[in-house]
């Protein structure tokens, strides 16, 4: 989902100059597109080949859309799958965020997502509450573990793991870690609107600049809500204003963010949530949890996790658009408004 829009300016890249020129290349990853900007003495084609290889490796581990991936085999009931590093890291972080968010982030909602038509297993009809209640017994990260003896992934029958709410952010981190490993210090990675940035835009001698898309639609279409600098951070945004299903009989709206505590996917007052964190996987997971929580619980979480920077939009009781931002963002908003 492309909730963030990079603000690219026209660039003329010369083949001569410093040994570390600006490299810009594009591709497909994790069901969407990616853009990488970095300063390197590697050629763009070589860097792109390395990035594509990493994307393939991550997909082979945690993509539910790849029938041969580790996670797909696990979901089919293969009890002999040994977790690789990618799977271990994603499951470990998922459990950390699950605990920190009191269960509001939970990748075991996959069975609910499939039933509602948001997963790789498509269903034509929207399920009734009785079916959703029956699937609730398969929700809970305590139902999944990795054997300390042989590294085999163990889960209860019926549990369907879906890392899509953290996997894209994690994939971005894998790419970023690789760029840093080969000596690249200034880069910006964008995959489907999620971002990881380090260093600065050397051409302008300024931080990388990103834009957050407004969830409100005007006669002119969608627009940029906020323009901000990003400093050695990752940013992910989740929202329900594009991806949802309507029951043609009842008119009931089912959004793609599922509340793991109720096993339901219904819109609360939050329309989008953007989270800045040290890793994109964390930002991705916390943004999803905030969408499921609603305003009051989200504010409580933010107070408990001061290391997170958060901006979310919501509707008040009169259905008027409102927004909330952590204090460290307010200074940036004020500075931008004065420019």
Residues 246 and 210: their CA atoms lie apart, in Å, by 32
Residues 201 and 209: their CA atoms lie apart, in Å, by 9
What's the confidence (pLDDT) of residue 328? 85
41 Cβ contact partners less than 8 Å away, ≥ 6 residues apart? 19, 20, 21
C-alpha count within 13 angstroms, C-beta hemisphere, residue 45: 0
Q: pLDDT tens, 151-172? A: 999 999 999 999 999 999 999 9
Alpha carbon of residue 159 to chain centroid: 22
Q: Where are the domains of the chain?
A: 66-164
Judging by DSSP bridges, how do beta strands 21-29 and 4-6 pair with one another?
unpaired
Q: pLDDT tens, 53-80? A: 999 999 999 999 999 999 999 999 999 9
Number of CB atoms found within 10 A of residue 80's CB: 9
- Evaluate if residue 252 carries a pLDDT over 90: no
Residues 87 and 246: their CA atoms lie apart, in Å, by 34
Residues 212 and 325: their CA atoms lie apart, in Å, by 13
DSSP label at residue 291: H
- Evaluate if residue 248 carries a pLDDT over 50: no
DSSP label at residue 4: E
CATH architecture of the domain formed by 66-164: Orthogonal Bundle (1.10)
Residues 258 and 244: their CA atoms lie apart, in Å, by 11
Residues 131 and 116: their CA atoms lie apart, in Å, by 11
Q: Is-above-0.85 flag for pTM?
A: yes
| C-alpha separations of 160 from 20, 292, 297, 337 in Å | 45, 19, 26, 46
Residues 336 and 339: their CA atoms lie apart, in Å, by 5
Phi-psi region of 120 (alpha: psi -120 to 50; beta: other; left: phi over 0): alpha
Residues 7 and 336: their CA atoms lie apart, in Å, by 15
For the chain, give the mean pLDDT.
Answer: 85
Q: Is 310 helix (H, G, I), strand (E, B) or coil?
A: strand
| C-alpha separations of 171 from 58, 159, 175, 238 in Å | 6, 23, 6, 16
Query: Could you tell me which residues are beta bridge partners of residue 273?
Result: 238, 312
- Evaluate if residue 317 carries a pLDDT over 70: yes
Q: pLDDT tens, 180-191? A: 999 999 999 999
The beta strand positions in 31-178, using DSSP E, are 32-40, 144-146, 153-155
Place of tokens 């003329």: 12
What's the confidence (pLDDT) of residue 122? 58
Residues 76 and 67: their CA atoms lie apart, in Å, by 9
Name the most confidently modeled range: 138-147, 238-247, 253-262, 314-323.
Answer: 138-147
Of the candidate ranges 150-154, 164-168, 225-229, 281-285, the one whose mean pLDDT is the lowest: 225-229
Residues 90 and 270: their CA atoms lie apart, in Å, by 26
49 Cβ contact partners less than 8 Å away, ≥ 6 residues apart? none
Backbone angles phi, psi at 326, to 5 degrees: -70, 155
Res. 220 pLDDT band, cuts 50 70 90 = low
- Evaluate if residue 7 carries a pLDDT over 80: no
């Amino acid at each position: 989902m492309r909730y963030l829009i990079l603000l690219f300016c026209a660039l003329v890249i010369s083949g001569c100059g410093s040994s570390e020129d600006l490299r810009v290349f594009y591709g497909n990853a994790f069901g969407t597109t990616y853009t990488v900007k970095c300063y390197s003495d590697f050629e763009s084609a070589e860097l792109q080949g390395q990035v594509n290889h990493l994307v393939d490796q991550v997909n082979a581990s945690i993509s539910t859309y790849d029938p041969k991936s580790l996670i797909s085999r696990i979901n089919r009931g293969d009890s002999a799958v040994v977790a690789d590093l990618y799977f271990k890291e994603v499951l470990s972080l998922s459990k950390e965020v699950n605990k920190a968010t009191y269960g509001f982030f939970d990748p075991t909602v996959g069975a609910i997502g499939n039933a509602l038509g948001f997963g790789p297993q498509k269903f034509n009809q929207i399920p009734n509450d009785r079916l959703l209640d029956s699937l609730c017994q398969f929700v809970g990260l305590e139902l999944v573990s990795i054997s300390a003896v042989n590294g085999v992934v163990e889960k209860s029958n019926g549990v369907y793991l879906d890392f899509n709410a953290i996997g894209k952010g994690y994939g971005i981190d894998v790419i970023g870690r690789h760029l840093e490993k080969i000596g690249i210090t200034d880069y910006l990675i964008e995959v489907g609107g999620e971002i990881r940035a380090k260093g600065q835009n050397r051409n302008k001698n300024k931080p990388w600049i990103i834009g957050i898309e407004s969830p409100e639609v005007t006669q002119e279409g969608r627009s940029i809500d906020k323009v901000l600098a990003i400093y050695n951070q990752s940013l992910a945004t989740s929202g329900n204003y594009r991806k949802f299903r309507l029951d043609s009989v009842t008119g009931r709206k089912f959004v793609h963010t599922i509340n793991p505590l109720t096993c339901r996917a219904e819109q609360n007052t939050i329309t989008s949530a953007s989270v800045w964190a040290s890793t994109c996987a964390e930002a991705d997971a916390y943004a999803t949890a905030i969408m499921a929580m609603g305003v009051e619980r989200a504010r409580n979480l933010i107070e408990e996790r001061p290391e997170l920077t958060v901006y979310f939009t919501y509707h008040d009781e009169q259905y008027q658009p409102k927004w909330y931002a952590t204090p460290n963002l307010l200074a940036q908003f004020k500075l931008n408004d004065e420019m």
